[in-house]
Amino acid sequence: MTIFIAADHRGFELKNKIIEYLQEKDIRIEDLGNYQYDPLDDYPDFAKKVAQAVLQNPKDFLGIVICGSGVGVAIAVNRFKGIRCGIGFEIEQVKHIRENDHINILALPSDYLEFEKAKNLVDAFLSSIPKTEEKYLRRIKKLDEN
């Protein structure tokens, strides 16, 4: 599995901490930017890179996108057919949206998360397995039809 990650200036510091954390766990992670702090950068540029990367191999690739609220990057990646992104706030909520809604990108709101909580949310995202019962697959199929 490969995890693609990107953030704008508001998520820049958290992104770098998450990269270091996942590398320590021997998880393959690819940083898609921003590579330096730039207070004038735009979150859609980085969200787009993650969405396009995940779509190259949706069975083996996941993504994490970060901005101040988490909303901007979530909106940006959800414009891509085949991407399902949810904003993570609580561990059980992240497990639920990964398992039931098959999210393949997790959006994090850096302005509202301490690093410890962000680590736990990322762990919940990566350790949860999408459910394969017919009702879940039917719902995902309906999303992909739009």
Question: Other CB atoms closer than 10 Å to residue 62's CB: what's the count?
Answer: 21
Section 17-38 average pLDDT: 98
List the structure tokens of 120. 């736990």
Q: 0.85 cut: is pTM over it?
A: yes
What pLDDT is attached to residue 143? 87
The secondary structure element, H or E, covering residue 102 is: none
Q: Within 10 A of 71 (CB to CB), how many other CB atoms are there?
A: 13
Domain residue limits at 52: 2-145
Number of domains in the chain: 1
pLDDT for res 145: 82
Using the predicted structure, report yes or no on whether residue 10 has a pLDDT greater than 80.
Answer: yes
pLDDT tens profile 72-121: 999 999 999 999 999 999 999 999 999 999 999 999 999 999 999 999 99
- pLDDT for 146 equals 64
| CATH code for position 84 | 3.40.1400.10
For the chain, percent of residues with pLDDT exceeding 90 = 96
DSSP labels, 49-88 = HHHHHHHHSTTTEEEEEEESSSHHHHHHHHTSTT--EEE-
**Contact call for residues 94 and 128 (beta carbons, < 8 A):** yes
pLDDT, average across residues 23-30: 97
